């Protein structure tokens, strides 16, 4: 492990986190954090020669072409609306 963890580091992290630790807790956290750092150090050994944007399944956009079309008769749409000379009427502004 390139970074050596010691009690001073644990005390500094506790002080920055504004938590008080007993000496037993400091020992326990020292052991626990060393295990965590050892587990993350395994990532340094992983192969990194693949494309960073690697996806096991190719991702493509499936979009349809836009087609301008009127599928519903406009007279049918406005038949139940409040209209005046084929303009929609809304509530009066006060």
| Crossing angle (nearest 10°) for helices 23-41 and 7-17 | 100
Closest listed residue to residue 4, CA positions, set 46, 33, 45, 42: 33
**Model confidence at 44: pLDDT above 60:** yes
The stretch 25-49 carries a mean pLDDT of: 86
Q: What's the token pair of residue 4? A: 């050596």
**Domains of the chain listed by start with CATH number:** 7-45 (1.10.20)
**Model confidence at 27: pLDDT above 90:** yes
Residue 84 host element (H or E): strand 83-84
**How far is it, in rounded angstroms, from Cα 15 to Cα 45?**
33
**Model confidence at 22: pLDDT above 60:** yes
Q: What is the pLDDT of residue 52?
A: 65
**Model confidence at 62: pLDDT above 90:** no
Task: Name the DSSP class of 85.
Answer: T
């Amino acid at each position: 492990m390139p970074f050596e963890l010691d009690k001073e580091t644990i005390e500094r992290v506790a002080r920055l986190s504004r938590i008080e630790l007993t000496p037993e807790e400091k020992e326990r956290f020292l052991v626990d954090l060393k295990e965590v750092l050892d587990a993350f150090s395994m990532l340094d050994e992983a192969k990194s020669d693949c494309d960073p944007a690697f996806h096991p399944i190719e991702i493509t956009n499936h979009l349809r072409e836009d087609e301008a079309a009127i599928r519903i008769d406009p007279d049918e749409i406005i038949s139940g609306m409040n209209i005046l000379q084929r303009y929609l009427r809304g509530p009066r502004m006060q």
